[in-house]
Amino acid sequence: MSSPVRAPRTVERNFRGFFGLRFLGDFLPIAPVLVLFYTANGLNSTQIFTVQAIFHLAVLALEVPSGYLADVIGRRRTLIVGSLFFPLGLAVYAAGRSFAAFVAAETLLAVSVGMRSGCDSALLFDSLKQLGREDEYKRFEGRGALLGRLGTAVSSLAGGWLAAVFLRLPFLVNIGTALAATPLALSLVEPARDRRRSPNPALDILRICRHCMRDAAIRPVVLLCGLIMASNLTALWAYFLLYRDLGIAVGWLGVLFAVFQLAGAAGSGLTHSASARFGGRAVLAAALLSPVFMAALGLWPRLALSPLVPANAFLWNLAYPVLLEKLNRAVGSDVRATVLSLASMAGSVAFIVLSPLFGLLVDAVSLSAAFAALGGLFLAAGTALTSAVFRHWGRPGRHD
């Protein structure tokens, strides 16, 4: 089923590459001006949401197959391929002026995101394991997430300024930063691991997914990862509706988005030390405050409660690396990227289902009702899944 793969060169250089790819992958000056760019090119609201839905569906379709590809051909090669598609998608955006062009751009970007999803974390864990330092995984994963959030925060501030000069300038700058990711991917070293071999990859992917969903210890971790991702994404867009209703000026939206990302960066950066001091279970339990805060914002939409928005980002990002470590330790290196991609896929599925329902509830009832309902749903599901994770907390992980 699998055979060992050895790395002749030191894998320590992978840490620098991992951090660099995380920063550049989330460095998106186009993010705060994307809706403005769409409307300036004649897209209506339906077309805007359709473009984004196509992106998430494409990522969903590629999520697990790309992780499996990384287990078969290697993490380094998969990340190199992903790094090539990202600037290509941005170039199509920069030149595009139509709905069809933007769909093509988002599809190319989805290939890049799908190739990176799970693969970079698998490469990090395998590199640390080869050095006998896998106990440091939460620290490295947290630092990588911190750098990603910093990249988003800095680029969000820059994007508004660049767009004020020329609306396509954020895309041109983003192409340049995206091109810098390819040399970083090329500098990576494939760590020692087991390579997946199967005469029927499609059936093998199904077997891996079925095993994860049947394993009582792995299943709740995968689903809780997906729940945290979906709640983060849904709330991220919902908060802009809240800011609108609170009368916050447009000029402050980029700043608030940057604060949100910086709060997430702080949470990621503190994961390792918080887990060491309070324990991983306490960190996960603290994340259950997030849906409580969300419901509070719905029930009492006041400017005085707006600090709960970055507080949510802090708690989500504090907990997520703990779950990733649990998954990395629970599976072998021959399926690690596939399983991590499965967790990301769970988040994409939940987001695709929940985000339209949130929007319908806003239109049919109110934003307050939608926030309260979303918070209640995430609290109920999160409590059940966290309890299931705790029941199997002490189960020994697999050690390749």
In a domain, 6, yes or no: no
Q: Which of 13, 68, 17, 16 is nearest to 185 (CA)?
A: 17
pLDDT score at 239: 82
In a domain, 340, yes or no: yes
In a domain, 205, yes or no: yes
pLDDT score at 390: 94
Two tokens, residue 395:
């189960």
Burial class (CB in 10 A: 0-12, 13-18, 19+), 4: exposed
Say whether 168 sits in a helix, a strand or coil: coil
Taking a C-beta distance cutoff of 8 angstroms, is the pair 229, 347 a contact? yes
Taking a C-beta distance cutoff of 8 angstroms, is the pair 224, 348 a contact? no
pLDDT score at 274: 92
CA 145, CA 259: separation in Å to the nearest integer? 15
pLDDT score at 8: 41
Burial class (CB in 10 A: 0-12, 13-18, 19+), 8: exposed
* Strand-strand pairing, 2-5 and 193-196: antiparallel
Q: Which of 123, 155, 187 is the last residue of a domain?
A: 187
Are 105 and 243 part of one and the same domain? no
Are 224 and 362 part of one and the same domain? yes
pLDDT score at 9: 53
Are 134 and 21 part of one and the same domain? yes
Are 256 and 156 part of one and the same domain? no
CA 32, CA 131: separation in Å to the nearest integer? 40
Taking a C-beta distance cutoff of 8 angstroms, is the pair 185, 290 a contact? no
Are 114 and 217 part of one and the same domain? no
Measure Cα distances from 390 to 73, 170, 323, 394 in Å: 35, 45, 11, 8
CB-based contacts of 215: which residues, under 8 Å, 6+ apart? Answer: 330
In a domain, 45, yes or no: yes
Are 163 and 206 part of one and the same domain? no
The dihedral of CA 194, 199, 202, 208: what is its sign?
Answer: negative
Structural domains counted in the chain: 2
The dihedral of CA 134, 136, 141, 144: what is its sign?
Answer: negative
In a domain, 398, yes or no: no
CA 375, CA 238: separation in Å to the nearest integer? 12
Are 236 and 336 part of one and the same domain? yes
pLDDT score at 6: 46
Put simply, whether the predicted model's pTM sits higher than 0.95 gets the answer no
Q: What does the buried/exposed string (b/e) look like for 34-59 if buried means 16 or more CB atoms within 10 Å of the residue's CB?
A: beebbeeeebeeebbebbbebbbebb
In a domain, 362, yes or no: yes
pLDDT score at 3: 47
- Domain region containing 322: 201-392
Instruction: Match 């680029």 to its residue by tokens.
Output: 155
In a domain, 89, yes or no: yes
| CATH number of the domain encompassing residue 176 | 1.20.1250.20
Q: What does the buried/exposed string (b/e) look like for 118-136 if buried means 16 or more CB atoms within 10 Å of the residue's CB?
A: bbbbbbbbbbbbbbeebee
Are 260 and 162 part of one and the same domain? no
Are 236 and 371 part of one and the same domain? yes
Are 248 and 351 part of one and the same domain? yes
pLDDT score at 251: 61
Taking a C-beta distance cutoff of 8 angstroms, is the pair 181, 20 a contact? yes
Are 206 and 181 part of one and the same domain? no
CA 324, CA 56: separation in Å to the nearest integer? 21
In a domain, 69, yes or no: yes
Are 230 and 299 part of one and the same domain? yes
pLDDT score at 178: 96
Q: Which of 187, 212, 244 is the last residue of a domain?
A: 187
Q: Which of 187, 221, 238 is the last residue of a domain?
A: 187
pLDDT tens over the chain, length 400 residues: 444 444 445 888 999 999 999 999 999 998 877 877 888 898 886 787 678 778 888 888 887 888 888 888 888 999 999 999 999 999 999 999 999 999 999 999 999 998 988 889 889 999 998 998 988 998 898 899 889 888 988 888 888 788 888 889 999 999 999 999 999 999 999 988 777 676 777 788 888 889 989 999 999 999 999 899 888 877 877 787 788 788 877 667 667 878 888 898 889 889 889 999 999 999 999 999 999 998 898 888 888 888 999 999 999 989 988 998 998 888 888 888 888 888 888 888 888 788 778 877 888 888 888 889 889 999 999 999 999 999 988 765 554 4
Two tokens, residue 101:
């062009």
